[in-house]
Every structure is written in C-alpha cells, then in structure tokens.
Structure 1
Amino acid sequence: MTLQNLTFAVLLAIAIGWLLVIGQNIILPIIAAFIVVYIFVETDKLVGKLPGISKLPDWVRKFVIYVVFIGLLAGLISLFTVTIQELIAHSGTYQKNLVQIFSQVTDLVGEEHLPSWDELRAKIIGAINIPAWLGWVTAQLSSASGFIFLIAIYVAFIFGERSSFSQKLTAAFPDPVKAARAQQIISEINTKVGQYLGAKTLVNVILGLVSYVIMLAFGLDYAGFWALLIALLNYIPYIGSIFGVLLPVLLSVVQFVSWPWSLALFVLLITAQTIMGNMVEPLLVGRKVNQSAFVVLVALAFWSSLWGVSGAILAVPMTSILGIIFGEVPALRPLAVFMAEDVEADKTWIKRRFKVR
C-alpha cells in the first residue's frame, strides 16, 4: 500500500508539473492576481489607520486603492515604453561610446596585447547589438501588456469578493471541524504571505527612492526607469538585487565613458542594497515566511525555470504557501520542518502541527 501511495504521489506531482507548464498562460495571471490582492489587503489595513480615512466605507477605500493600482500600472507601462523608445533613439550614441571605451583600454594595455578593433568588434562588440536588444525588449513589453491587463481584471473580482469568502467556505464544508481547519490554513497563509509581501513592498519602495536619488545625482539617463526596475527586481531573492544594480551601472559605462564615475555609482548603489538588505529588511520583513536559504534557492530555480522572471518573483510566496499546506498534511509534515529556517521561530506553529511541548 505504501508503494502504491508513493506511485500515486509521484504521478500526481508529474501531472501538476505538466499542468503548471502547459497552463502557464492561464494559471500565472491568476496567481499573480492573488499576490497583488495580498498587497492590496496590507495597503488597505495601513490606509485604514490614517486619520479621517478610517471613517470611510470599506468599499470606498477598496475602490480608491484599485484606481491607484490601475493608475500605477498605466504609468508603469507608459514609463517602460517611453524609456525603451528613447533608449532605441540614443542607442547609436551608446554604440559609438563602446568604440571609445575600447580605445581607452587599448591605450592602457597597449595595442600589441590586443586584437584590432575590427577583430574585436566582429567577435565581441559586434554581438552587443544594442538596438536589436532594445527592439526585443519592446516586443516583450507589448506582449506583457495584455498579461498585465488580465491581472488587473482578476484583481478587481478577487478583491471585491474577498469579504464573502468565509461564507462560501462554510457552505463548501458542512462539517464545522473541516471548515474551521480550512479557515485556519487560509488565515495563516493570508497572514504570513500578506505580511511578507506588504513589508517587502515597503522595503522595495524605499530602495527604489534611495536608488533614484543616487542615480539622479550622478546624472544617469532614465534614473526613474532604473529605480523602478531596481524596486521590482528586488522581489527576486539574492540575484534580483544584483541585476538591479548591474543594469544601470552598465548603462553608465556607455553613457559616461568614465570608469571612476561608473565605479562610484556601483559602490553607492551596492551600499544602498546592502543597508536595505542587511539592516532595514530584517527589521520589517523578519521571519514572516521562515524559509531556509537553501529552500529559497531551490524554489527560485524551480519557479524561474517554469515561469521565467514572473516565477522568480513569485518563488518566495508560492513556497511559503506550500510549506503551510505541507504542515497540515501528516505525510508531508517532515517536508514543512526541513523547509523552515528556524523550527523554534514559531512556537504556536510547532505545537499545533508537531505536538512539541
């Protein structure tokens, strides 16, 4: 019987993996919409505490938050589109600056130690076709617009129907014990994932603003665009912050053609990332998801291989949800323990699931 259960479990895992890949265009917008709703709920709680606003009807606050969300989405798409178009318009200048950079390297090292410019351009620099790359990004952004619009529609319905979910849950589980257990699981998911996303979003907003001030002071082109990109990429654990810094620094190299200036920008942006990641984020985010670093890396590799950048962004909340569900299934409880960074971090969680006293 054990072998049969194991076989069924393996087949079920394969079927779920197959569905996640095949149904990406359907499943991903729905999951992304639920994640956005978590951020909405935390925003609604924060806004509801403000003087005067707390007296507004609940539906008015929700409507205002949704309108702001639509405005931010429209502004985001517009900013990305305009910036990419301007980058394409100036790509010729950036391409010429690559020639100047190569000349500086040649003067520093000596021509006898380097191939000719034509050889190097054919082998390396010629492959860095900035206009072609930006054209590809524009095409990807156009295809993503429909995806983002679909998420906005889903968010409206999920956010609007969230208040009636408890009634639906009670109707779905006539047994009060099963209904209470399901409600407990969902409540824990909502609390942990909602708090994590709310705190992480606040951290990313602060990081984006600080990075914007730094890049604006240096005179970097499209500082607002890069600041927004840094904030978005910081949702991706570990590697997101690295790419968020490298991209504007690479632009600074072909814009300023000054290694000391680009190095100074790199140091300041990395310093901002380090302070936020090692000092501010632990205070705000803390152990809200309680996942080990190894589990986060595996989750990052798994979800990004399935859904690309979107999967990388959703890796931590998705894995947190799975960890909570595993803790409620007796056969999978050991997995929930091994996924945790600190098993003693949540005494209530331990006592309820594993009977530790």
Structure 2
Amino acid sequence: MKTPIAVPPSAVGRNAIVVIAVVAAGAALYWLRDILTPLAMAIFLMIMIDGVKRSIEQRTQLPDHLAGIAAVSLVVVGFFAAIAFIVNGAAGFFTDMSGISSGIGPRIDAVIEDGARLVGVEAAPTAQELLTGIDLRGYLTSLAFQMQGVASGSFFVLVYLGFLLASQVGFRRKIVAMFPQREQRAEAMGVFERVRGGVEGYLWVQTVTGAMICAAAWILMRVVGLEHAEFWTFIIFVVGFIPVLGGAVAGLAPPLFALVQFPTYWPALILLVGLQTILFLVGNLIQPRMQGENQNIDPVAVLLALALWGKLWGVVGMFLSTPLAVMAMAILAEFRGTMWIAVLLSGDGKPYADEPESTPHRPPARRPDRVKPPRPGSAEP
C-alpha cells in the first residue's frame, strides 16, 4: 500500500481558514448588496471622473479645480441622463406595446405556426396557450418596481459619490500615514495606478466600440424601419458593458421585435444578419486592437466573474464584473501568496502589462508585510 503524502497541519489549517474567509466574504457581499452596490457604482464613477478630469487638463490647460468641476458635471449629468432615458424610454416602449397588443397576438401566432411548419409540426400551439400559467402582470409589476429601484438607487450613488469626492482631499495624507517609507508608498501607488489604468482602459474601449456599434446599428434599424430605433440603440450601448450577455441581447432583441412589427420576415432577417456582422467585425477586428494590454484577462475568468457578481449583485454586478476582475488581478499580483491567482486570471500568464517577454512573471521585489519597521527616531526615507 502506497504511503499517502503527509501534509503539514499548519498548511491544512491555513487553507481551511482561507476557504472559510472566502465563503464569509461572499455571504457578506450578498447580504450587504443594497449598501455596497451604490458604493461600488460611486467608486466606478469616481474613477471615470478622474480620467475625464485628466483628459480635460491635457487638452484644454484648465486649472485643476475647473477641470474637476467640468469632469464631475459631465459624468453626473451623463449618468442621470442615461437613467432618465432608460426609465422614460422603457415606459414609452411598453405603453406603445400595450396599445398595439391586439395586433401582436395574431402576428405571434403566425410566426409560431410558420416555425412549427418548418420542423414538421402540424398543430402549432397559439401564443395564448404557450403563455398560459405565466403571470405576465406579475412580471410587469416586478419590472416597474425595478425601474423605481434604479431611480432611487441613483440617488444613493450620488450621495456616495459626493462623499468620495470630498474625501479625495486627504487621500495623499492617508497614503503617507499608511505607508511611511518611500518604497512602500511607491509600491502602493503603483498598485493604485495599475487598477485605475485597467478600469479606465476598459471604459475607454467599451465606450468607443459601443459608439461604433450603436452608430451602425441605428442606421441599419432606421433603414429597415424598426420602431423605437433610438431606444434600441441606447439599450445596445448600455448592454455592451455586460460581457457575453450584452452581445446576445444587442444582436437578437431588435430582430425578435421586428418579427412582431413587420408582416414579412425579411426585415428581421436583415437586422439579424446586419447586427451580427457589425458585432463580429467590431468584436474581432477593432476591439482587440484597441484593448492591447488594458484587458489582459482570461475569457474564462471574465465569464466566471460575470456569473459570480451577477449572482451576488444582480444587474449592477454584471456591469461591474470586468472592472472588478481587473482590480482583483492587479491587487493579487502584488503578493507572492496570491500571485498564482493573478496568473490564472490573466490572459497570457503575465499580470503585469510592462513585464519583459523573457520572464514568465514578475514576483514583487519587496512588500509592506516584509519590510522591516523603521528605527525609533529615524526620519522618513
């Protein structure tokens, strides 16, 4: 009988503590989601404001405080304009849909009958038979409450954002107090710069490519004659920030509604082929060139992050899943004990964007937990 490998008791206890801590952290994130999701969105907006502010300073030579005011105004106005457009656009869309619901039923029955005939089914069920047992009123009521929750949640996001912006004044002093030695402080600021650079790069790429997709999709929908083309264009832009699921919604939702609106299948087919072509070209030719090393994340890690944060925080978690994965990879790469997790999260095995090609990865040289404390009475290095 082969002798099993002996594992030191200390390693078993340490691994058990790590597992328990991860489970406890996940439970806390889920239970406190009503508090944490507005805070996460506020941090996300603060990073966006910082990037806009630096861009304004570089292009206009405005003073620091004026550039900050302009950046805050642009981001906050854009955020609330997006919320208002979603709420009002959804309300108008569902109002129009309910107004023409008498004509939708026969059209859906015709689509179902044609589809059943293609697969060899003679007696096709009607839409009413398929929807029997489905509480549509309950779903619409739930949707209305979610819209109300979005509006109320945006207020708390604004409150958190105001306090975060106010606390930026003492950020430098806090960094000096937390990391008194110059080397420690440089490493901490390096982590912060990598996190900020990754999030800003993700925002820039998604915004530019989303604008390209929306411009082409709007032209296509207007040519075909799809109703509420502006509403669908904005939805395509918003869901573009959700990995995997965003592309599916953008490429399939307008053609499905075209099936109901038009008496023939050609407009829906044109929309389906056109939107899929646009998404394919942008996603495979333009976006990879723009991403560079800003999103050096494994696709499986992106999918797992989407599922995890979507389960914990719902739609907000889906939007923030990729930026949170970027932040996690940058932080985990700073410590030897968690470097292997950052390597697994990275797309090419190198979490550091500036890493030389000859080395598999760059272990951190010195970390705060391994730096000797300063001698009593010594000055700051």
Pair in the same fold by TM > 0.5: yes
Instruction: Describe the superposition over 1:171-217 as per-residue Cα deviations: whole angstroms up to 9, x where unpaired.
Output: 22224333332222112211222222222222222322322222222
Q: Which residue of 1 aligns with 2:263?
A: 257
Alignment of 1:7-46 (within 5 A): 7-46=16-55
Question: Which entry has the higher C-alpha Rg, 1 or 2?
Answer: 2
Q: Aligned match of 2:127 in 109, 118, 121?
A: 121
Work out the CA distance in 2 between the residues paired with 1:21 and 1:104: 41
Q: 1:219 aligns with which of 220, 225, 228?
A: 225
Farther-moved stretch of structure 1 (12-21 vs 253-262): 253-262
| Distance in 2, Cα, partners of 1:325 & 1:308 | 24
1:71 aligned to which of 73, 77, 97: 77
- Residues 1-357 of structure 1: pairs in structure 2 closer than 5 A: 1-50=10-59, 53-54=60-61, 56-92=62-98, 93-94=100-101, 96-103=103-110, 106=113, 109=117, 113-115=121-123, 120-126=126-132, 133-162=139-168, 164-343=170-349, 346-347=354-355, 352-353=362-363
Report if the CA contact (8 A) 1:97-1:257 is conserved: no
Choose 100-109 or 279-288, whichever is displaced more. 100-109
Q: Deviations over 1:313-342 (max 9, x none)?
A: 111111111112211121111111122111
Task: Say which is worse superposed, 80-89 or 305-314, in terms of deviation.
Answer: 80-89
Asked whether the equivalents of residues 84 and 134 of structure 1 are also in contact (C-alpha less than 8 Å), the reply is no
Q: Offset of 1:105 from its aligned partner? A: 5.4
Contact 1:81–1:138, Cα closer than 8 Å, also in 2: no
Q: Which amino acid aligns with 1:84?
A: A
* d(CA) in 1 for partners of 2:328, 2:91: 41
Question: Unpaired segments of 5 or more residues in structure 2?
Answer: 1-9, 366-381
- Give the secondary structure class of the aligned counterpart of 2:363: helix
Distance 1:106 1:191 in 2: 53
Aligned partner letter, 1:34 = I
Equivalent residue of 2:333, what SS? helix
- What TM-score, normalized to structure 1? 0.87
Distance in 2, Cα, partners of 1:46 & 1:127: 54
Q: What is the CA–CA distance in structure 2 between the aligned matches of 1:321 and 1:77, rounded to whole Å?
A: 26
Task: State the 1:129 CA deviation.
Answer: 7.5
Paired residue type of 1:306: L
Q: For residue 27 of structure 1, give the secondary structure of its aligned residue in structure 2.
A: helix
- Which deviations, in whole Å up to 9, do the C-alpha atoms of 1:216-239 show, x marking residues without a partner? 222222212211111111111122
Q: How many residues align?
A: 349
Structure 1 residue 13: deviation in Å? 0.8
1:79-105 Cα shifts (integer Å, max 9, x gaps): 223222222322241452231342365
- Match of 1:328, SS state, is coil
- Tell me the SS of whatever aligns to 1:287: coil
Q: Deviations over 1:19-67 (max 9, x none)?
A: 10011111111112112222222323333333xx22x222222222222
Does 1 or 2 have the higher relative contact order (CA < 8 Å, sep 6+)?
1
**TM-superposed deviation, 1:252:** 1.6
Q: Shift of residue 151 of structure 1?
A: 1.5
For 1:181, the aligned partner's letter is: E
Check conservation: 2:50, 2:71, Cα contact below 8 A.
no
1:144 Cα offset (Å): 0.9
C-alpha separation in 2, matches of 1:19 and 1:229: 31
CA 1:77–1:347: 2 relative to 1, 3 Å? closer
Task: Tell me if structure 2 keeps the 8 A contact 1:207–1:276.
Answer: yes
CA contact 2:241–2:319 (8 Å) conserved in 1 = yes
Identity between Structure 1 and Structure 2 (%): 22
Give 5+ residue unaligned stretches, structure 1: none
CA pair 11-210 structure 1, distance change in 2 beyond 3 A: same
**241 and 298 in structure 1: CA distance in 2 versus 1, 3 angstrom threshold:** same
